Structure formats: structure tokens, C-alpha cells
Amino acid sequence: MQKGINTDLSADGKNYHVQTEDWGIKNPYLVTRIYRNGAVLKTIKLPYQRVLEGKEQDFQETIRLAMKEQHYEILDLIHSGQIK
């Protein structure tokens, strides 16, 4: 299981907290939650199965990279105004 990633950011005058977690092998999902004013605004769940399809590199490294990619894609969506 990978450590989580947390980011606080402001966009369009609103404050957000974005948290991405690896739920581990027993619950195989990468989960990103977007919070605004302490409430969950959106949850994105990506199953390991989709992350690992066609990948031949190290399992832990693949999960770590997918987690970072998912987290930063959400930050980009917030900054671009696609998530409000």
C-alpha cells in the first residue's frame, strides 16, 4: 500500500483539499476525494485492474505512478474550472 497524497489549493476564490489514497490489495482501488468547506465534493475510484492492464513493470511502482497521475489530473481539472 502506498502513502496518500494531499494538496490544498485555491481556484476561482474557492478552497479545496484533494486527497488520494491507495486502499490496498484487500480493497484494490486508488481513491481521490475532493473536499470543499470540509464536505466531500467528489470521489473518484480507480480499480487496480484498470491500472495494471497491460503493465509489465513492478506492481508497487505502477500503483505509485497511477496514484500520482490520478491526483495531479484532478488538480488540473480544478485549476481549469472543470470541477467546481
For the chain, the structural domain boundaries read 5-79
Q: In whole angstroms, give the CA distance from residue 33 to residue 55.
A: 25
Read off the DSSP letter of residue 3: P
Q: In whole angstroms, give the CA distance from residue 61 to residue 80.
A: 28
Q: Quote the pLDDT of residue 2.
A: 73
Q: Quote the pLDDT of residue 6.
A: 97
Per-residue pLDDT of the chain (84 residues; tens, 9 = 90+): 678 999 999 999 999 999 999 999 999 999 999 999 999 999 999 999 998 887 777 888 999 999 999 999 999 999 999 988
Q: Quote the pLDDT of residue 31.
A: 97
Q: In whole angstroms, give the CA distance from residue 13 to residue 32.
A: 22
Q: Are strands 14-22 and 39-47 parallel, antiparallel or unpaired?
A: unpaired
